[in-house]
Amino acid sequence: MLNLIGNYSLVFALITSLILAVVSFINFKSNKSLDFNIFGAVVLQFTLICVSFFTLIFAFIYSDFNNAAVYYNSHTSKPLFYKISGTWGNHEGSLLLWVLVLSLFTLIFLFKSKKLFNSFRILTIFFQQIITSGFLFFILLLSNPFQLILPTPNEGLGLNPILQDPALAIHPPILYLGYVGSSIIFSSSLAALTCKYVNKDWAAEIKKWSLISWIFLTIGIMLGSIWAYYELGWGGFWFWDPVENVSLMPWFCLTALLHCSSVLEKRATLQSWTIILALCTFILSMSGTFLVRSGILNSVHTFANDPERGVFVLIFLTFLVLISLFLYFKFNNFESKPKSFFLSRETAIIMNNWFMMYFLAVVLVGTVYPIFLEVFTAAKISVGPPYFNQLIIPFLIPFLVLMALGTKLDWIKTKKFKLNLNRIAILILSILISFFIVRNLNTKVLFLSVLISASLYLLLISIIDLKNQKFKWSQRISHLAFSILVISIILNSIFSEEFSVNMKVGQEKIISNSTINFEKISKQEVDNYTSIKAEIEIKQNENKLIFYPELRLYKTPETITSEADIKTNLFNDNLLVVNYLKGSDYLNIRYQKKPFMFLIWFSAVMLGLGGILGLRDKLK
Amino acid sequence: MRIRLSFIFLFILVSSIALIFYKSLFEEKNYIPKNINNKIENISIKEFNTENIFFLKNLFEDEKFMAINIWASWCLPCREEHQYIKNLSRIDNLKLVGLNYKDKTKNAQKFLEDLGNPFDIILSDTDGTKSIFLGAYGVPETLILDSELKIIKKHIGPINSKIIDEIKNLTN
């Protein structure tokens, strides 16, 4: 019953979407105003998709194994929280969530854009409906979450403990909010192009939506990385995995767009470039979905390997790209730009955009190149962290310095660019500090000290700028956050420590500057496994830490899992994990020290906060 | 005219990219080489996490066949195939040997902690030279050897339930 309701409300949502597309196009052609029908239809569509989404959630909560999606992805013994998050943890449900957010954003756009040009609004709705109906077709034809299984099974299949993690439960919906937010940017740029409405009002409108997407993307990427760090636990937080890259690409594009749209807003120039960035952001988000969902990429995140689905998304994506190309070339005749001088804020922002495009290109090539190579030569290669590190890190140096200097410039022309004594003092200070930091290392001293100097310089300048009334709070906060993020990532990668040693209970060993004491071991029967808990003390200089790592021996299926003990403080994460060695009474003890992890998460949250402050300014 | 040319250029570019993606959707992700029935040398390999060194032939206990699965923690398809490797360990008559390929010990350990250790024994090939003797193409890869160290089956890429059935039939 529930399944039928869910299914048919989706069908009606699709019909509404098609009617809306036609009506809005006719209204646009005949220059009619945005009438009540359109309004009502958008509300209706949102309600229908909502109904459908909630029936799916109910099916998951009540473990209705009649429903195929529930059967494959849920289990009666799952905690309620993970039953609910299981709704979007699978391919079908996550697409339904995508469409739900899509229609929600269309609705919000309609409510919030009353002051804007009429035809522009109608046309935006038209393009939004093309996207919505494409996704609805995809769901109904190829990924229907309401497929039935007969006879009804008694128990579900899905109980993968690695996916039961709070960060992973909310990571996809947050990331989706970011992706889908960019759909409004896409539709409204196409609409603005067609109505010749690429002006300051439009830039202000688009900036709101880019901020919304940017906030969600930033937080979403961070949550994914938290999951990788704590749950996958390969001892890192970023692996240049194709699926991570795919979420990073729209982020670069969006960051460029955020900066570029303020040039359009203040100076009415760079129209073409803003449009291109706006279109690319959504296209990159869509390509991301395509690459992840089609199984072209081999990755930990791969959902389903179904070429048919891939073909649909590919055709739809190509269609959107070609439409935007066509409209761009048909309507792209902007007035010549007012002149800017070299030393101006505009130049700094354009430089920022260049760097963003460079980083984007590096990630894009690294992600897509293996696919191309495979088609042409049947050779399989995988592009790993060394490629990304070597191409991105050296270019961070000029980027960071530029970021520190660029905010100092004025719009149009900087009249007097004085060599400020303070600034030189800060530069010297940061060089000294970085020398102090790198002094004891014996690799790549010169390169690292330059890199650290540059990031310290940006950090110090951003701290001083906190008091500068000339800038908005959003800018001050997010620039400071970015500088903290960069410097903590650099220091984290330089100063991470680890060792691994085999020990018996009661032994004591000394490795470099640490003393390890294997104090105790205790055994306990818990529900469906036997727990072996060790007590290990690690002494470094005067610091003493006691860890309680655990081994779990499961009976069915026979598996041993290790639960690490992580001690977190402001400056360090200390992680200790033990391992069972077959056929001996020794345990393998692995200790890792990861500095500044807390600061990395903290600065990512702060980056998001900067975005929220910016959004608040815009909505005032 | 200039605009039109660049439009055509971009149009062709986008379409050909789409075409390449289309082709790669149907690209076979695994392939099976023909040169099986070769014998491999009875080489010695170090055990993972210990200093013990084993000759391949000495690994056989009561089993008639041996499966060597070449894996690495950094290899994502290996993660995917791991659940099937567990099924492989249930086949009687088959010694399941893992060969950890060009890997860091701690990462490999973490991999086993997370996903379980189905192997009867794990050997370590830190520099990738041992895999050359086995004629390996890359990771993941699974070889089935008989007691004379003759390759009776070889599979490149992640294994699946179909391959497991084939292996079951071969080793019966």
CA dihedral A293, A298, A300, A303 (to 10 degrees): 30
CB atoms A372 and B79 under 8 Å: no
Residues of B in contact with A380 (CB under 8 A): 138
Q: Is A204 in the same domain as A291?
A: yes
Cβ atoms of residues A353 and A259 within 8 Å? yes
Beta bridge partners, A574, equal A567, A593
Confidence of residue B172 (pLDDT cuts 50, 70, 90): confident
Query: Tell me, what's the pLDDT at A333?
Result: 77
Residues of A in contact with B124 (CB under 8 A): none
| Predicted confidence (pLDDT) at residue A258 exceeds the cutoff of 90 | yes
Q: Is A45 in the same domain as A71?
A: yes
CB atoms A329 and B6 under 8 Å: yes
Q: Is A542 in the same domain as A439?
A: no
Query: Tell me, what's the pLDDT at A380?
Result: 64
CB pairs under 8 A between A and B: 90
Q: Which domain holds residue B63?
A: 31-171
Which of B11, B22, B113 is closest, CB to CB, to A314? B22
Beta bridge partners, A526, equal A529
| Predicted confidence (pLDDT) per residue in B77-125, tens digit | 787 788 888 888 888 888 899 999 878 888 888 888 878 888 988 998 8
Q: Is A572 in the same domain as A532?
A: yes
| Predicted confidence (pLDDT) at residue B170 exceeds the cutoff of 70 | yes
In the block, tokens 């997370």 appear at B114
The stretch A263-267 carries a mean pLDDT of 85
What's the CA gap between A608 and A618, in Å, rounded? 15
Q: Is A147 in the same domain as A209?
A: no
Q: Which residue of B has its CA nearest to A581?
A: B49
Confidence of residue A301 (pLDDT cuts 50, 70, 90): very low
Cβ atoms of residues B96 and B85 within 8 Å? yes
Interface of A with B (CB under 8 A): 162, 232-235, 241, 290, 294, 296, 298-300, 302, 307, 310-311, 314, 317-318, 321-322, 325-326, 329, 332, 371-372, 374-375, 380, 384, 498, 500, 557-562, 577, 579, 581, 588, 590
| Predicted confidence (pLDDT) at residue A284 exceeds the cutoff of 70 | yes
Residue length, chain B?
172
The stretch A172-177 carries a mean pLDDT of 85
The string over B102-112, giving b where at least 16 C-beta atoms fall within 10 Å of a residue's C-beta and e elsewhere, is: bbbbbbbbbbb
- Record the pTM: 0.80
| Predicted confidence (pLDDT) per residue in A308-330, tens digit | 778 888 899 999 999 999 999 88
Share of chain B above pLDDT 90, in %: 5
Cβ atoms of residues B171 and B91 within 8 Å? yes
| Predicted confidence (pLDDT) at residue A144 exceeds the cutoff of 80 | yes
CB atoms B20 and A375 under 8 Å: yes
Q: Which residue of A has its CA nearest to B48?
A: A581
Q: What is the CATH number of the domain that holds B127?
A: 3.40.30.10
Which of B4, B49, B79 is closest, CB to CB, to A588? B49
Structural domain includes residue B5: no
Structural domain includes residue B4: no
B142 CB burial (10 A radius; 0-12, 13-18, 19+): buried
Which of B10, B26, B113 is closest, CB to CB, to A561? B113
Dihedral sign, Cα of residue A104, residue A107, residue A111, residue A112: positive
| Predicted confidence (pLDDT) at residue A303 exceeds the cutoff of 50 | no
Structural domain includes residue A264: yes
Encoded amino acid at B46, one letter: K
Structural domain includes residue B127: yes
Structural domain includes residue B76: yes
Query: Tell me, what's the pLDDT at A336?
Result: 60
Total count of domains within chain A: 4
What's the CA gap between B37 and B43, in Å, rounded? 18
Q: Which domain holds residue A468?
A: 408-496+599-607
Distance from CA of A26 to the nearest CA of B (A): 28
| Predicted confidence (pLDDT) at residue A591 exceeds the cutoff of 90 | no
Tokens of A221: 């990427």
What's the CA gap between B71 and B140, in Å, rounded? 5
Query: Tell me, what's the pLDDT at A56?
Result: 94
B2 touches chain A (CB under 8 A): no
Quote the mean pLDDT of chain A.
Answer: 84
Which one has a higher pLDDT value, A294 or A570? Answer: A570
Structural domain includes residue A575: yes
Structural domain includes residue B23: no
Query: Tell me, what's the pLDDT at A416?
Result: 63
| Predicted confidence (pLDDT) per residue in A203-242, tens digit | 988 999 999 999 999 999 999 888 777 765 556 788 887 8
Query: Tell me, what's the pLDDT at B116?
Result: 82
Does the N-terminal peptide bond of residue A557 adopt cis geometry, omega within 30 degrees of 0? yes
Furthest CA-CA distance within chain A: 86
B114 touches chain A (CB under 8 A): yes
CB atoms A559 and B106 under 8 Å: no
Which of B74, B106, B117 is closest, CB to CB, to A590? B106
| Predicted confidence (pLDDT) per residue in A74-90, tens digit | 878 778 888 888 888 77
Q: Is A425 in the same domain as A391?
A: no
B73 touches chain A (CB under 8 A): yes
Structural domain includes residue A183: yes
Query: Tell me, what's the pLDDT at A300?
Result: 43
| Predicted confidence (pLDDT) at residue A477 exceeds the cutoff of 60 | yes
Query: Tell me, what's the pLDDT at A77?
Result: 76
Structural domain includes residue B13: no
Q: Is A254 in the same domain as A321?
A: yes
Q: Is A44 in the same domain as A29?
A: yes
Share of chain A above pLDDT 90, in %: 34
Query: Tell me, what's the pLDDT at A127?
Result: 95
| Predicted confidence (pLDDT) per residue in A13-30, tens digit | 999 999 999 988 988 888
Lowest mean per-residue pLDDT among A200-204, A240-244, A271-275, A362-366: A240-244
Closest CA to A44 of A67, A24, A15, A66: A15
Euclidean distance between the first and final Cα of chain B, in Å? 71
Q: Is A438 in the same domain as A401?
A: no
Q: Phi and psi of A159, rounded to 5°?
A: -150, 60
The stretch A260-264 carries a mean pLDDT of 88
Q: How far is CA B87 from CA B60, B63, B138, in A?
A: 20, 17, 22
When mean pLDDT is compared over A42-51, A541-550, A575-584, the highest value belongs to: A42-51
Query: Tell me, what's the pLDDT at A358?
Result: 96
Total count of domains within chain B: 1
Q: Is A158 in the same domain as A175?
A: no
ipTM: 0.71
Structural domain includes residue B18: no
The stretch A258-274 carries a mean pLDDT of 87
Which one has a higher pLDDT value, A35 or B43? Answer: B43
What's the CA gap between B97 and B69, in Å, rounded? 6
Confidence of residue B28 (pLDDT cuts 50, 70, 90): low
| Predicted confidence (pLDDT) at residue B31 exceeds the cutoff of 50 | no
Query: Tell me, what's the pLDDT at A32?
Result: 73
Q: Is A24 in the same domain as A103?
A: yes
CB atoms B21 and A588 under 8 Å: no
Structural domain includes residue A618: no
Closest CA to A304 of A295, A313, A317: A295
The angle subtended at Cα A409 by Cα A362 and Cα A275, nearest 5°, is 50
| Predicted confidence (pLDDT) at residue A338 exceeds the cutoff of 70 | no
Which of A162, A232, A322 is closest, CB to CB, to B11? A322
CB atoms B106 and A290 under 8 Å: no
